[in-house]
């Protein structure tokens, strides 16, 4: 069975992962907003450490209404637009479609499964350094691994085939038994470094250089790990130490939320902070420092909006 | 007995409180740094809601070495300079002198009592809106009450006379039974609003306007109250609600630490954050949000220094 793929949100992630599938011969349909005209005329360009390529022509669309019904939809936009998903997905999914949220944060599959109850829902976590450098132009600098996990009870076969398709297209892809576990695991790094980089208007290397913020990040990682534990995901506390060591070796880096902040785009506060804080709270654990960072980010967001 | 007063740090507080005593006929000796020449020539000017006045001539000095030995020394500089106190006080105190720290924060009397063991030490908490508007020129806008509390077992008589002298000079002054209690009480407001105004680069009204930061400030107040409780000072939890209501009615206001930050002066992180966090920790209570704010402020201070 050959799957028909849809990509909603053709930025760095959508362009890279969708592009890799299309280049390998899969049937991929891209939804674009601002870059539509450019990609329609000049194609989708991916500069990658694994080899550059240009897709042309691209099956691209400026409206979901124009797209075919797809078996698998990769949602690669920011979670700040997820309230639009029910409307966007309506024309492009059938009763057995699988929607994979390749996004950051927590609680996003739960919400979509409620809003679009007839679809199967999965999550994808991307370990990749890639960014958009121009219209329809992605620069892939490092890594690329994708971890996929099913949220609903249906969709398993589609997800398995999807994983194989990615592997065949040259994207290392794994199936995770437990989506919640890997979502929390990703939060261990995302929670301290995204928010602190925004609130303190800085980059990871500066946060690591200063003893107080390095320790604060470490403590917040432990809070996230305890939050996960209370929610039933038994992360290893040593994972925090490992993440700190990894960050020590990283080149100076502005996390995605910092880039959103600098470009005055909406920040993913809801999925990276609010949902985890609420999940842990409902499980009886108050992530005090994470909640404080959430409040500070909400304040900053309100100042930008005004 | 007529007391000889010394004022160390003749800014807004030193100029106002020392000025009021001198104007009422007390023998007051002022130590000045940058404003010395100006005050020597043109006097000390206090514009006050209670009536403007000009002191001239002023018994002023550019070095503590030149000053007479004083019975009571009012220390009115920022706590960030307190490491200089042993050296500054040496020429101006005798075996029975009383040093009153009219400053913010916690742990400052403890430190001075260790460093200058032969002096009596007290603390003063000023409820006043006043700022320096030019060399030797203080503007007093509102309030003015002074609460005095003894730290050492000696010095009680001097402190009592000092309180009477203030009252006689038109400054409402009270003696507090328990200095620690009032120091912690003052922290309830200072801790959330000073630090958050710096980290979020804003003013009290904005922090109050946004639901998340208003609640965060309220929670931090409760942390301070529980910190105090663990240290043996039984503040009323309702005091937090009262402070929130007071702040709601305040005109937009940049707390002193925000002014220090804006003017790239050293911030009183040690006395307002580090000492209280450590005191509560030693008593078995971790003020998590206060500690997080301390770390963030340390980071910001390090960025300014670089």
Domain ranges of chain B: 4-177, 180-305
pLDDT tens, position by position, B5-40: 999 999 999 999 999 999 999 999 999 999 999 999
Average pLDDT of span A54-77:
98
Does the structural domain A180-305 have CATH classification 1.10.1040.10? yes
Q: Which B-chain residues 170-229 have CB contacts (< 8 A) with chain A?
A: 196, 199-200, 202, 206-207, 210-213, 215-216
Question: Is 80 exceeded by the pLDDT of residue B306?
Answer: no
* Tens digit of each residue's pLDDT (9 = 90 or more) over A210-245: 999 999 999 999 999 999 999 999 999 999 999 999
Domains A4-177 and A180-305 share a fold: no
Nearest CA to CA, how far is A281 from chain B (Å)? 16
CATH architecture of B4-177: 3-Layer(aba) Sandwich (3.40)
Contacts 24+ apart (CB under 8 A), A214-217: A214/A244, A215/B295, A216/A192, A216/A289, A216/B292, A216/B295, A216/B296, A217/A192, A217/A193, A217/A244, A217/A247
Q: Closest Cα of chain A to B188: distance in Å?
A: 17
Report yes or no: A303 at the B interface, CB cutoff 8 Å: yes
Contact B295 A207 (CB under 8 A): no
Choose the mutation target among A212, A216, A287, A289 for the interface with B, i.e. most B CBs under 10 Å. Answer: A212
What's the whole-number mean pLDDT along residues A81-96? 96
CB distance from B292 to chain A under 8 Å? yes
The one catalytic residue in B20, B40, B45, B186 is B186
A298 touches chain B (CB under 8 A): yes
Element (H, E) at A288: helix A288-305
SS (H, E, C) chain B: CCCEEEEECCCHHHHHHHHHHHHCCCEEEEECCCCHHHHHHHCEEEEECCCCEEECCCCEECCHHHCCCEEEEEECCCHHHHHHHHHHHHHHEEEEEEEEEECCCCCHHHHHHHHCCCCEEEEEEEEEEEEEEECCEEEEEEEEEEEEEECCCCCHHHHHHHHHHHHHCCCCEEEECCHHHHHHHHHHHHHHHHHHHHHCCCCHHHHHHCHHHHHHHHHHHHHHHHHHHHCCCCCCCHHHHHHHHHHHHCCCCCCHHHHHHHCCCCCCHHHHHHHHHHHHHHCCCCCHHHHHHHHHHHHHHHHHHC
CB B43 within 8 A of CB B20: no
pLDDT of residue B79: 96
Cβ–Cβ gap A292/B292 under 8 Å: yes
Query: Is there a contact between B213 and A295 if contact means CB atoms under 8 Å apart?
Result: yes
Rounded CA gap, A257 and A270, in Å? 12
Contact criterion met (CB < 8 Å) for B292 and A216: yes
pLDDT at B285: 98
pLDDT (tens digit, 9 = 90+) per residue, B74-113?
999 999 999 999 999 999 999 999 999 999 999 999 999 9
pLDDT, tens digit, for every residue of B200-220? 999 999 999 999 999 999 999
Residue A306 pLDDT grade (very low, low, confident, very high; cuts 50, 70, 90) = low
Q: Write down the pLDDT at residue A106.
A: 97
User: Active-site residue numbers of A?
Assistant: 186
| Closest CA of chain A from B234, distance in Å | 23
Q: How confident is the model at residue A29 (pLDDT cuts 50, 70, 90)?
A: very high
pLDDT at residue A1 in the model: 78
Chosen for mutation from A288, A297, A303 (greatest number of chain B CBs closer than 10 Å) is A288
Top residue of A299, A300, A305 to mutate, by most chain B CBs within 10 Å, is: A299
The verdict on pTM exceeding 0.95 is no
Query: Which of chain B's residues have a Cβ under 8 Å away from the Cβ of A217?
Result: none
* pLDDT digit string, tens, across residues B150-204: 999 999 999 999 999 999 999 999 999 999 999 999 999 999 999 999 999 999 9
Smallest CA–CA separation between B255 and chain A, in Å? 18
Model pLDDT for residues A267-302, shown as the tens digit of each residue: 999 999 999 999 999 999 999 999 999 999 999 999
Q: Is the reported ipTM for this assembly greater than 0.85?
A: yes
């Amino acid at each position: 069975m050959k799957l028909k793929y849809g990509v909603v949100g053709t930025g760095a992630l959508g362009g890279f992962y969708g592009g890799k599938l299309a280049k390998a011969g899969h049937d991929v349909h891209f939804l674009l907003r601002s870059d539509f005209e450019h990609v329609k005329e000049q194609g989708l360009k991916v500069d990658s450490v694994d080899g550059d390529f240009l897709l042309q022509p691209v099956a691209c669309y400026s409206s979901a209404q124009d797209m075919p019904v797809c078996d698998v939809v990769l949602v690669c936009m920011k979670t700040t637009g997820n309230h639009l998903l029910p409307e966007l997905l309506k024309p492009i999914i059938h009763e057995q479609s699988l929607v994979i949220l390749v996004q950051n944060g927590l609680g996003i599959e739960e919400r979509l499964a409620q809003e679009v109850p007839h679809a199967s829902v999965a999550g994808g976590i991307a370990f990749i350094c890639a960014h958009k450098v121009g219209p329809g132009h992605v620069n892939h600098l490092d890594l690329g691994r994708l971890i996929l996990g099913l949220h609903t009870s249906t969709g398993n076969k589609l997800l398995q085939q999807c994983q194989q398709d990615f592997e065949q297209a040259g994207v290392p892809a794994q199936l995770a038994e437990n989506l919640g576990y890997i979502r929390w695991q990703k939060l261990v790094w995302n929670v301290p470094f995204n928010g602190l980089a925004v609130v303190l208007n800085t980059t990871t290397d500066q946060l690591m250089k200063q003893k107080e913020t390095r320790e604060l990040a470490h403590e917040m990682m432990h809070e996230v790990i305890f939050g996960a534990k209370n929610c039933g995901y038994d992360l290893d506390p040593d994972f925090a130490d490992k993440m700190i060591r990894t960050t020590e070796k990283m080149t100076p880096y502005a996390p995605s939320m910092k880039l959103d902040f600098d470009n005055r785009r909406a920040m993913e506060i809801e999925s990276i902070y609010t949902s985890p804080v609420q999940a842990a709270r409902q499980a009886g654990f108050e992530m005090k420092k994470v909640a404080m960072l959430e409040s500070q980010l909400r304040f900053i967001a309100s100042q930008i909006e005004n």
